[in-house]
Structure 1
Amino acid sequence: MTFKPYGVIPPIITPFTSEGKVNEAVLRELVNLYIENGVHGLFPLGTTGEFYSFNEDEMKKILSVVVEETAGRVPVYAGANHITTRGVIEYLKLAKEAKVDAVSVLTPMFISQSQDELYHYYKSIAESTDLPVIIYNNKPKTNVTVEPETVARLSEIDNIVGIKDSTGDMTNTEEYIRLTRNNENFGVLVGRDTLIYAGLSYGAVGAIASCANVAPKLVVSIYDRFMAGDLKGALDAQFELAPLRILCNMGTFPAVIKEGLVMQGIDVGKCLEPIAELNPEEKQKLREELKKLKLI
C-alpha cells in the first residue's frame, strides 16, 4: 500500500437546503474554497458532516459530488461508519464505486467491544477492500476506544494506513505514534484541533480538523509552517486557532461550524434536527471570534 495520509484534511460539513436536502451547489462551492485555501485532502461523511443522517442514496450523492468537483486535486477520504462489520463493508462498496482515495471507519457505536473484537472488526473490514483504511477513534462520542497496543497490531495490516485520534488525550495520541513510529506505511492524524502542533511535534502526519471548515487557511498554516521549520509561526497559528475550537463546545456539534460558515456568507443551512441553532448569546460570541480572526 503506497497511500499515505498527511496534512490538514477538513471533515467537510454537509450543506442543506431549507427542506433538509443536500445542497449540491454549495457543496461544490465548499470543495473549491477549501482546496483554494491549501488543504491537503477532503473528508465527506465524517462526524462534522453529520454522517449519521443519510441513507445510501444520499451518501452516494455526497461522495460523487465531492469526488467529481475535487477532480483529483487532493485525496478524498470517505466516512464509512456503521455499528456492524457487514454494514461498514456495504458502505465501503459505495465508497469504492464513488472512486474515493481512502476510507475512515469509526469504532462501532452503542455496543461496547473488547480489544480483540475491535481488532477483528478492523481486520475484516480491511480484508474486504483494496481501499486504504483509516481507523477513527472518538471515545468521547462512542464510549469505545482502540487501545494503543491494538492499533500497533492493526498497523501491520497492509491497507490499514493510519488512525485519527479524537480523544483529546495527548498521551493516547503519543502512544499511537510511539508504538507505530517504525512503520513507514502508517500515520497518526490528530482529531482535536487544539492539539495539532503538539501532535506534529511528536510525529503525527497531520490533522483531520473540523475548524478547517471555518478557517481553512489558518489551520493549514499550522501544518505548513511546521513542515517548513517555522516552529514559532506554527505555534502562533495554533494559539490563534484555539479559541475558535473551544467555542465549538457551545451548542450541539457541529452547530458552531455551520454557523461560522453562515456568518461568512456561505449558505450551508442548518444542522438536521434534533440539533438546534445556537442561541443569540452564543452567536454573538462566535461572531466576535470570527471578527478577531478577520473571517468576517
Structure 2
Amino acid sequence: MSEKSKGFIPVMLTPFKENGAVDYDGLTKLTELYLRAGAAGLFANCQSSEMFDLTAEERLAVTRHVVKVAGETVPVVATTTFGGEVEKQADFVKRMHDSGIEAAIIITNMLAGELEAEELFNERVHLLFDLTPGIPFGFYECPEPFKRVLTAAQLQQFVATGRVIYHKDTCLDIELVKAKLNVTSGVASFGLYDAYMVHAVESLKAGSAGLSCIQGNYFPELIVWLCENYDNPSASGQVALVQQFFVDHMEVMHHVYPMVAKYFLQKRGLEISMFTRRFSGVFDEGVKGRVGELYRCYRQLFYDIGLNMVTS
C-alpha cells in the first residue's frame, strides 16, 4: 500500500448462494473483476462483505480465498477485530495475518465503546500492537454499530509507531481529511484511502493515497480512471463529469446496499446471486427502476469519457 501513485482499494462484496452459503466460485469471479479493472489492492472481510454476518471461520476462509485468487498481483487487507477482550482480538489478528494479508485492519469502534474516552481507545490500540509484534495494521472507521472517527492527532500518533500502513477514512469531512494528510505526509509507508466520493477529487489532490468506496462495487474501472486522471489537465472536463456523477447518484447506490450492488453487477454480466445475509431494505420495483436508470447513466458516462467497461 506504499505506492505513491493513487490507487483504488475495493471494499469487497461477499457473494452468497441462494441457500446462504458463501459462493466461492462467485468470489473468484468478483475478485478477478476488481483485478481486471485495475484495483491497486483488495479490502476483504469488510462491512460491504457483510463481515458481521460471517462466522469467524468464514471470515478466515473468505480472506484466504481472496489472497489465493489475487496471488501476488496486489496486496490484500482484511478486518481482524470484532470486539471482546483485547487479548482475544489479538489472537484473531494473528490468525488473519497468517492468511497472507498485508495489513490487519482495526475497526475503530471495536476497541472502546461509544461513550468510552479517546484515551482508553488509544491505550487499547497500543496494547493490541504490543500483543501482535511485527504485524502491520490499518484503521477502518466503520459506521456500524457506531462510528468512531480518528482525530488527526490520534492518527499521527499511531502512524508514528511504524505499525500503521493503511487508513480507510469515512469522516465525510474534507477539512479533517486534509488535517490527517498533513500530519502523516512524511511517512512513505502509510496511505489514507478516502471512502467519500462527494469530495473524491479534492481528497486526491490534497494527498490521499487513493479511494476505497462502495461505488467501486458498481463500476470499479471508473474509480481507477479517476485515481489516474484526477489531476490530468487534458481530462479536466471529464474529471468534472465523473465527480458530478458520483454526487448526483450517491443516494441510489447506498439504498438497499449491498443487494443493489449485486443486482448492478448482475446487469453487467457477473454471475452472482443477490442474496444477502443482512436485511438492508426492500428491493422493490421502485428500487429496481432507479438502479436501471443508474445503469443507463453509467453507460452514457463511459461513452462520454471514452472508457471501456471491463467484462465479467
- Determine whether 1:130 maps to 2:134: yes
Which deviates further from its counterpart, 113-122 or 201-210? 113-122
Task: Using the TM superposition, give the Cα deviation of residue 254 of structure 1 relative to its aligned residue in structure 2, in angstroms.
Answer: 2.4
1:136-147 alignment runs, 5 A limit? 136-138=140-142, 142-147=146-151
Scaled by the length of structure 2, what TM-score is found?
0.86
Residue number among 202, 208, 212 corresponding to 1:204 in the alignment: 208
SS at match of 2:274: coil
1:148: which partner in 2?
152
Q: Which amino acid letter does the alignment assign opposite residue 9 of structure 1? A: I
1:38 Cα offset (Å): 0.8
**What's the secondary structure of 2:292's corresponding residue?**
helix
5 Å-filtered alignment, 1:120-269, equals 120-127=123-130, 128-138=132-142, 142-226=146-230, 232=236, 233-251=238-256, 253-266=257-270, 267-269=272-274
| Aligned mates of 2:83, 2:174 — CA distance in 1 | 27
Superposed counterparts of 1:94-133, under 5 Å: 94-109=95-110, 111-112=113-114, 113-127=116-130, 128-133=132-137
SS in 2 for 1:39: coil
Q: Residue 138 of structure 2 aligns to a residue in which SS?
A: strand
Give a deviation string over 1:118-176, Cα, whole Å, max 9, x none: 22222223331423211112457523222221111111111112321112121221111
| Structure 2 counterpart SS, 1:103 | strand
Structure 1 residue 231: deviation in Å?
A: 5.9
How many Å apart are 1:92 and its aligned residue?
1.4
Aligned mates of 1:125, 1:136 — CA distance in 2: 15
Counterpart CA distance in 2 for 1:105 and 1:203 is 22
Cα distance between partner residues in 1 of 2:235 and 2:160: 32
The DSSP-based 3-state class of the residue aligned with 1:196 is helix
Instruction: Give the secondary structure class of the aligned counterpart of 1:93.
Output: helix
Contact conserved, 2:141 with 2:147, CA < 8 A, in 1? no
d(CA) in 2 for partners of 1:226, 1:87: 42
**One-letter amino acid of the counterpart of residue 4, structure 1:** S
Greater alpha carbon shift after TM alignment, 177-186 vs 33-42: 177-186
Q: Which runs of 5+ in 1 are unaligned?
A: none
Shift of 1:235: 3.5
1:90 corresponds to: 91
Q: 2:233 & 2:144 partners in 1: Cα distance?
A: 33
**AA paired with 2:95?**
L
Between the aligned partners of 1:197 and 1:268, the Cα distance in structure 2 is 33
Unaligned runs of 5+ in 2: 300-308
- Contact kept, 8 Å, 1:77 with 1:101, in 2: the verdict is yes
| Structure 2 counterpart of 1:45, one-letter code | N
- Between the two proteins, the alignment pairs up a number of residues equal to 293
**CA 229–67 in structure 1, closer or farther in 2 if over 3 Å, else same:** farther
Equivalent pair of 2:255/2:281 in contact (CA under 8 Å):
no
Equivalent residue number for residue 12 of structure 1: 12
Q: Percent identity?
A: 17
Q: Aligned residue for 1:279?
A: 284
CA distance in 1: counterparts of 2:77 and 2:298, whole angstroms? 28
Cα-to-partner distance string for 1:23-55 (whole Å, 9 max, x where unaligned):
000000011111111111111111111110111
Q: Per the alignment, in what secondary structure is the counterpart of residue 129 of structure 2?
A: helix
Secondary structure of the structure 2 residue equivalent to 1:293: helix
Q: CA 1:242/1:94 → structure 2, altered by over 3 Å: closer, same or farther?
A: farther
Deviates more, 1:108-117 or 1:200-209: 108-117
Contact 1:104 1:136 in 2 (8 A): yes
Match of 2:294 among 286, 289, 294: 289
In structure 2, what is the Cα distance between the partners aligned to 1:140 and 1:108? 8
Tell me how far 1:201 sits from its aligned partner: 1.2
Q: Deviation per CA, 1:261-284: give whole Å up to 9, x if none.
A: 233332133211333442210111
SS of residue in 2 equivalent to 1:248: helix
Deviation at 1:104, TM superposition (A): 1.8
Q: Residue 55 of structure 2 corresponds to which residue in structure 1?
A: 55
Q: Which amino acid aligns with 2:284?
A: N
* Residue 224 of structure 1: how far off its partner (Å): 0.9
| TM-score under structure 1 length normalisation | 0.90
Deviating more after overlay: 150-159 vs 100-109 = 100-109
Instruction: Give the 3 Å change call, closer, same or farther, for CA 79–282 of structure 1 in structure 2.
Output: same
Provide runs of 4+ in structure 1 moved above 6 Å: none
